[in-house]
Amino acid sequence: MRLFIDTSAFLAIEDADDKNHESALSFREELKTGRSAYRLLYTTNYVFDEAITLIRMQIGHSAAVSFGDALKKSESIRELNVTEKIDFDAWNIFKKYKDKDFSYTDCTSFAMMDAEEIAFAFAYDKHFVQYGFKTIP
């Protein structure tokens, strides 16, 4: 099964002060050891941008660099690039959901998940559920 990884999950893993830290570490361990049904892991370059920025602001530069290097070298997480088509779809999502406080990065994630037919997200962000995806853990 395929799983999208959101900024909220990356931040929860990296930030020991995050309220979801223990949950995120536990689920990451399930992924690493194959105890999870999810075998194909995805994120986007927009999520990467958002994650390293937040990690830098909340934990520090060296933590952001360490996280970024690990993600760029990862053989288990595929970083998908937001294309012109995904950007167009994300913009339409952003415009349509004026009653939600989706970030633009959220909208690019939703558009990518729709395009790649990924139904599940490793995320602690309520916006994924509001849009119609299932979140893990």
Is the backbone peptide bond immediately before 137 cis, with ω within 30 degrees of 0?
yes
The CB density around residue 65, as the number of other CB atoms within 10 Å, is 13
Question: For position 110, what pLDDT does the model report?
Answer: 98
Confidence of residue 5 (pLDDT cuts 50, 70, 90): very high
Total-model pTM: 0.95
Structural domain spans, the chain = 2-136
Q: Considering only CA atoms, which of 12, 34, 35 is closest in space to residue 22?
A: 12
Give the right CATH number for 2-136 from 3.40.50.1010, 2.160.20.10, 3.30.380.10, 3.40.50.2020: 3.40.50.1010
Taking the CA atoms of 56, 59, 65 and 67 in sequence, report the sign of the dihedral they define.
negative
- Rounded to whole angstroms, the Cα distance separating 104 from 33 reads 33
